[in-house]
Amino acid sequence: MGEAIAFYTLAALILGFAVLVVSAKSTVHSVLFLVLTFLFVAALYVTLQAEFLAVIQVLVYAGGIVVLYLFVVMLVNLKRQPETHADPHRRSRLGLALSGLVLAELAAIAMYGSASSPAASGAASAPEVTAMGGNVEQVGWLLYTDYLIPFELASMLLLVAMIGAIVLAKREL
């Protein structure tokens, strides 16, 4: 019962703030609603026993990425909002219709997928991993054994992204 209350509360908060992110007039308000969305998603991760990911969500998303967005909003300094001089031919109706279509598709997948979901096939390493300590130990164990090469690739990706962002944002080379 408590799990259900937590889930429905967090789901309502996440979806409500996500709608505000998309619909807010001011870009700064949009960024602040985005922080709240990320924080409630982190709370949802805690209810799913993913404590490490919740901490990463707060640190990386709410701490890092959102600050980046705020800096860009501040640097861009919009004198005129893009939405105020919208041209009459823009196809937001079409966008809504296409989104509805994708929603119908997702709903169909959810219906058919959950009807014929296979029994949880215990992954090979599940017992040995759950035998060791908490969530952080388990994730760290997997990251440094089975997923070592993807982990190193992610670090390379971040390095390339960092250099790329510096090069792009520099005034002249």
Partner 1 sequence: MTEITPTHYMLLSAALFMIGVIGVMVRRNIIIILMSIELILNAVNINLVAYAAEQQNVVGQVFALFVVAVAAAEAAVGLGIILAFYRNKETVNIDEMNLMRW
Q: Which of positions 74-103 make contact with partner 1 (CB under 8 A)?
A: 75-76, 78, 81-83, 86-87, 90, 92, 95-96, 98-99, 102-103
CB atoms within 10 A of CB 173: 4
Judged by CB under 8 A, the residue of 88, 116, 118, 120 near partner 1 is 120
Q: How far is CA 77 from the centre of its chain?
A: 26
Judged by CB under 8 A, the residue of 9, 68, 112, 148 near partner 1 is 68
| Whole-number Å distance between alpha carbons of 40 and 85 | 34
Compute how many residues bind partner 1; rule: CB under 8 A. Answer: 81
Judged by CB under 8 A, the residue of 13, 36, 55, 65 near partner 1 is 65
Task: Kindly write down the DSSP assignment for every residue of 91-103, as one continuous string.
Answer: -HHHHHHHHHHHH
Shortest CA distance to 27 belongs to which of 85, 91, 87, 75? 75
Question: Which residues from 121-160 bind partner 1, rule CB under 8 A?
Answer: 122-123, 126, 129-130, 135, 138-139, 142-143, 147, 150, 154, 157-158, 160
| Whole-number Å distance between alpha carbons of 19 and 37 | 10
Judged by CB under 8 A, the residue of 9, 74, 106, 133 near partner 1 is 106
Answer yes or no whether residue 13 interacts with partner 1 by CB under 8 A: no
| Whole-number Å distance between alpha carbons of 104 and 110 | 10
CB 35 within 8 A of CB 14: no
Q: How far is the CB of 153 from partner 1 (least distance, A)?
A: 9
Question: Which residues from 23-52 bind partner 1, rule CB under 8 A?
Answer: 27, 30-31, 34, 37-38, 41, 44-45, 48-50, 52
Answer yes or no whether residue 108 interacts with partner 1 by CB under 8 A: no
Largest CA distance in the chain: 61
